[in-house]
């Protein structure tokens, strides 16, 4: 059995940057608070919790005079979080991915132009929540082209469209085209990050060359979910696993070429565990 690995997989630059910054802070021994998951991977988050970091859902969970450091995740946060953190006297370490920062700036600019802001993304995802915040709370989220019919667009309304950075190119382009059929004054910004596009293309290319492809990543990872969807669409048998323990030997029966790809939040040590197990089998 031959094991092939996608050209682009695992930690992207933004996640690697967030991981290293958070590692440095926790190793320093100071009180560290993480607002949400630093990245969408349970094993990575657990590693920081064991190192002493406290994961919180809201700043209200931080006791008064905590004198700690707030780490903002790679997904970004709405602008009011910075104000609240400052009011609490917290130090702020911002690990927001540069691509997300760019999308936040665009969301703000589109709203300031008086445009109806549409975010192509996953409703409820932390990054999408941050983009809504930077639009002044005015943006609406569209997950699929069918959602456009539910929008109440006044005639002649100016529209601005941007994407969650981990969306599939085809989904974004399809939704943009559908919106343009309704309104002429549409300003689009493809804010899908370069790493996402490379991973998606590499995963699809690999899926077409193998009998089975394993997508390694946490179920809460949006970009991993997208890789799984795209690999499935090639017709190649596809399974998403979070760790090596989920690998089923029965999937390998009669397979001579197995492909591996991994989401941008998946650490190298988990990918290596899967490869090692496959080699043994």
Confidence bin at 50 (pLDDT 50/70/90): very high
Q: What percent of the chain has pLDDT over 90?
A: 79
Between 182 and 159, whose confidence is greater? 159
What CA–CA distance (Å, rounded) separates 9 from 41? 14
Residue 149 has pLDDT above 90, yes or no: no
The domain boundary residue, chosen from 63, 81, 97: 97
Confidence bin at 153 (pLDDT 50/70/90): confident
Structure tokens at 277: 């197990």
Residue 31, C-beta contacts closer than 8 angstroms, at least 6 positions apart: 54, 66, 67, 68, 69
What residues are labeled active site?
127
Give the global pTM.
0.87
Residue 152 has pLDDT above 90, yes or no: no
pLDDT at 154: 79
CATH of the domain at 201: 3.40.1010.20
Residue 29 has pLDDT above 80, yes or no: no
Residue 65 has pLDDT above 80, yes or no: no
Q: Which residue has the tokens 């008086």?
A: 114
* Rounded mean pLDDT, 38-58: 92
- Dihedral (C-alpha) 202, 203, 208, 213: value to the nearest 10 degrees? 150
User: Does residue 24 share a domain with residue 6?
Assistant: no
Burial class (CB in 10 A: 0-12, 13-18, 19+), 280: exposed
pLDDT in tens, 94-129: 999 999 999 999 999 999 999 999 999 999 999 999
User: Does residue 204 share a domain with residue 172?
Assistant: no
What CA–CA distance (Å, rounded) separates 246 from 239? 10
| Residue numbers of the domain that contains 46 | 13-97
User: Does residue 272 share a domain with residue 229?
Assistant: yes
User: Does residue 163 share a domain with residue 133?
Assistant: yes
The domain boundary residue, chosen from 162, 192, 222: 192
CATH of the domain at 91: 3.40.50.11270
β partners of residue 33: 54, 70
User: Does residue 103 share a domain with residue 48?
Assistant: no
Residue 23 has pLDDT above 80, yes or no: yes
User: Does residue 70 share a domain with residue 24?
Assistant: yes
For the chain, what is the domain count? 3
* Rounded mean pLDDT, 147-151: 89
The domain boundary residue, chosen from 192, 220, 253: 192
pLDDT at 67: 81
User: Does residue 109 share a domain with residue 89?
Assistant: no
Please give the sequence-ordered ranges of beta strands (E in DSSP) within the chain, or none if there are none.
Answer: 2-5, 32-35, 54-56, 69-72, 91-94, 116-120, 140-142, 159-163, 186-189, 212-216, 237-241, 257-262
């Amino acid at each position: 059995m031959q094991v092939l690995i996608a050209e682009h997989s695992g930690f992207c630059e933004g996640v690697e940057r967030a991981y290293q910054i958070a590692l440095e802070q926790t190793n320093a021994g100071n009180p560290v608070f993480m607002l949400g998951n630093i990245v969408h991977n349970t094993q990575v988050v657990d590693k920081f919790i064991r190192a002493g970091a406290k994961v919180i859902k809201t700043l209200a969970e931080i006791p008064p005079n905590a004198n700690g450091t707030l780490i903002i995740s790679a997904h970004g946060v709405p602008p009011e979080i910075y104000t609240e953190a400052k009011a609490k006297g917290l130090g702020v370490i911002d690990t927001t991915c540069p691509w997300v920062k760019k999308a936040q700036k665009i969301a703000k600019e589109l709203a300031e132009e008086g445009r109806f802001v549409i975010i192509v993304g996953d409703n409820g995802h932390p990054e999408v929540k941050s983009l809504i915040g930077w639009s002044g709370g005015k943006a609406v989220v569209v997950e699929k082209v069918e959602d456009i019919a539910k929008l109440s667009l006044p005639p002649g309304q100016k529209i601005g469209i941007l994407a969650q950075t981990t969306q599939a190119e085809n989904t974004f382009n399809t939704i943009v085209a559908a919106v343009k059929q309704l309104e002429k004054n549409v300003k689009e910004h493809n804010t899908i990050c370069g790493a996402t596009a490379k991973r998606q293309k590499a995963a699809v290319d690999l899926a077409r060359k193998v009998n089975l492809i394993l997508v390694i990543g946490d179920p809460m990872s949006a970009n991993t979910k997208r890789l799984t969807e795209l690999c499935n669409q090639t017709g190649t048998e596809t399974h998403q696993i979070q760790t090596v323990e989920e690998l089923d030997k029965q999937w390998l029966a009669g397979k001579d070429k197995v492909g591996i790809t991994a989401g941008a939040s998946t650490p190298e040590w988990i990918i290596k565990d899967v490869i090692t197990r496959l080699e043994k089998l």
